[in-house]
Amino acid sequence: MKAFEKFTGLIAPMDRANVDTDQIIPKQFLKSIKRTGFGDNLFDAWRYLDEGLMNKSPNERRINHDFVLNQSQYQGASILLARTNFGCGSSREHAVWALQEYGFTCVIAPAFADIFYNNCFKNGLLPIALKENIVSSLFEEIAASADSYCLEVDLQEQRVTKPDGTALTFEIAPERKASLLSGLDEIGKTLLRQADIKAFEEQHTKAQPWLFTDHS
pLDDT the model gives residue 213: 76
Q: Where are the domains of the chain?
A: 7-172
Is the pLDDT assigned to residue 33 strictly greater than 60? yes
Tens of pLDDT, residue by residue over 5-23, are: 999 999 999 999 999 999 9
Q: What is the 3-state secondary structure (H, E, C) of the chain?
A: CCCCCCEEEEEEECCCCCCEHHHHCCHHHCCCCCCCCCHHHCCHHHHECCCCCCCCCHHHCCECCCCHHHCHHHCCCCEEECCCCECECCCCCHHHHHHHHHCCCEEEECCECHHHHHHHHHHCCEEEECCHHHHHHHHHHHHHCCCCCEEEEECCCCEEECCCCCEEECCCCHHHHHHHHHCCCHHHHHHCCHHHHHHHHHHHHHHCHHHHCCCC
Q: Read off the pLDDT of residues 51-102 as tens digits, 9 standing for 90 and up.
A: 888 778 888 899 999 999 999 999 999 999 999 999 999 889 999 999 999 9
CATH architecture of 7-172: Alpha-Beta Barrel (3.20)
